[in-house]
Structure 1
């Protein structure tokens, strides 16, 4: 008996998607290898999707509908799969991030999720306590769609130099990730600055984000050990924005930050 045969469709939204895919495929009389071929994926990947071991992309969900003639069934299911891949406490963050017109982020340990490569994201998540790594990787990459939409938010990122120097996933993963940062920094919608070690003590005591919107008050998000905390308290938001201004004041200029990223990337070359 295969893993797909033993799958409990009520155990998770991903399991329900997987069981529905197998059911519709069998009812349509399409062998697994044939669906894989027509969906332009490997049979092994399709097997993992039907066993709820891998989260499909949105494009793949749409391809399943097209091949199986399922009238948008999997396209409609897909947003639920991604939504429930996030821990419940993190979903409000994702919703605010998607609505924001300006995102300000400070990170002192890892690259912000919006700018992570798939390999880097996987390495970060594998080091964490959750066992749904593949679902979380897919969900993290999905968040990045907001940067590719017609009207993306302005993204302001301040990184401690520690983020560039900390080896996550090994040299090859870090080279790819630093390249992604440099690429993002070239966009006029993004500003990336690095607080160098030479700055010494600075205002960023821990990771935080401030979201600004077309209408409504700014919202602050601070990271924590078990879960983050959202706040729209004007005093707390004002304090966070003051800290952000101080961080930018001691950070390298955007151009000098790109140069530092390039230097660190060069040092990683074999």
Structure 2
């Protein structure tokens, strides 16, 4: 179930954007005399997923919404327009503003000392994390995380700069296969302009161990915004002094990290040893 549908009746189409989307899909599908199998074939998914989306029990992807618009002749692009709203409500309330800001950023600078950041995770890596956290809505959370990564495939994507502790590359999340795919994903990002990946080697991790996970978002217009991860929730910093301190922290992390041309070979060496 989605975050929102944990607290509402998903069969009531007015109870949430997710329930409304599902009800509209079912209405249009039945109006056009189509089966769930036919819709599933167009959307590259199974009968069961179509049924769950119609029941307001699963978050749709943008690809699913676009398939609905192709299949339903009078939708006028309605489902693709609804999809971002539905996805927004798949995130916890405290995280929604960050996702909105991230989608408008021209540069994203991230540091993490425990896990690969969500924007760079593979689907299986994300799924293993959510299962380990005993989340009740794993597939919705995975869908929302993967959809969030579309920002990196825009015609002009934000410049993503990640600094990661070396221990992240060696910590097995899920199993060896999942880690190999995740390391390849990081390697691909490291080789794809305008993105950068730097690794803080274990021998230089004293400062990074003290500094918690953070993200600095920059924009073509307006001041930087900082997001700090935490438990039970993260928070945004917008005050000038706080943002300046976060930027200073990121500068120190960059100084501790290997340069990009040394970080990529380190990822390769760890990848070779991942069995």
1:19 aligns with 2:28: no
TM-score, normalising length: structure 1:
0.91
User: 2:270 aligned to 259, 264, 268, which one?
Assistant: 264
* Matched residue, 2:5: none
Q: How does 1:172-183 map to 2 (within 5 A)?
A: 172-183=177-188
Distance, in Å, in 2 between the alignment partners of 1:252 and 1:71 is: 50
Secondary structure, counterpart of 1:202 in structure 2: helix
Distance, in Å, in 2 between the alignment partners of 1:229 and 1:45 is: 33
**Structure 1 residues 15 and 231 mapped into 2: Cα distance closer, same or farther (>3 Å)?**
same
Secondary structure, counterpart of 2:33 in structure 1: coil
Secondary structure, counterpart of 2:164 in structure 1: strand
Q: How does 1:122-133 map to 2 (within 5 A)?
A: 122-128=127-133, 130-133=135-138
* Worse-superposed segment, 107-116 or 36-45: 36-45
* Matched residue, 2:68: 64
Distance, in Å, in 1 between the alignment partners of 2:67 and 2:56 is: 18
**Structure 1 residues 38 and 207 mapped into 2: Cα distance closer, same or farther (>3 Å)?**
closer
* Matched residue, 2:231: 225
1:141 aligns with 2:135: no
* Worse-superposed segment, 100-109 or 233-242: 233-242
In structure 2, the gaps of 5 or more residues are 1-9
Task: Summarize deviations over 1:199-237 as a string: whole Å, max 9, x none.
Answer: 141145210011111222111111110111211222222
Secondary structure, counterpart of 2:199 in structure 1: strand
CA contact (8 A) 1:160 1:194 kept: yes
* Matched residue, 1:235: 241
Secondary structure, counterpart of 2:11 in structure 1: coil
Secondary structure, counterpart of 1:54 in structure 2: coil
User: 1:252 aligned to 258, 266, 272, which one?
Assistant: 258
Root mean square deviation of aligned Cα: 1.8
* Worse-superposed segment, 125-134 or 250-259: 125-134
Deviation at 1:177, TM superposition (A): 0.6
1:106 aligns with 2:99: no
* Matched residue, 1:3: none
Task: Summarize deviations over 1:142-189 as a string: whole Å, max 9, x none.
Answer: 221111111111111100112111111111111111000000000121
TM-score, normalising length: structure 2:
0.89
**Structure 1 residues 219 and 35 mapped into 2: Cα distance closer, same or farther (>3 Å)?**
closer
Distance, in Å, in 2 between the alignment partners of 1:232 and 1:40 is: 42
Deviation at 1:130, TM superposition (A): 4.0
1:43 aligns with 2:51: no
Distance, in Å, in 2 between the alignment partners of 1:73 and 1:171 is: 42
Task: Summarize deviations over 1:231-263 as a string: whole Å, max 9, x none.
Answer: 122222222112111111111121221111112
CA contact (8 A) 2:59 2:90 kept: no
Secondary structure, counterpart of 1:17 in structure 2: helix
Distance, in Å, in 2 between the alignment partners of 1:152 and 1:39 is: 26
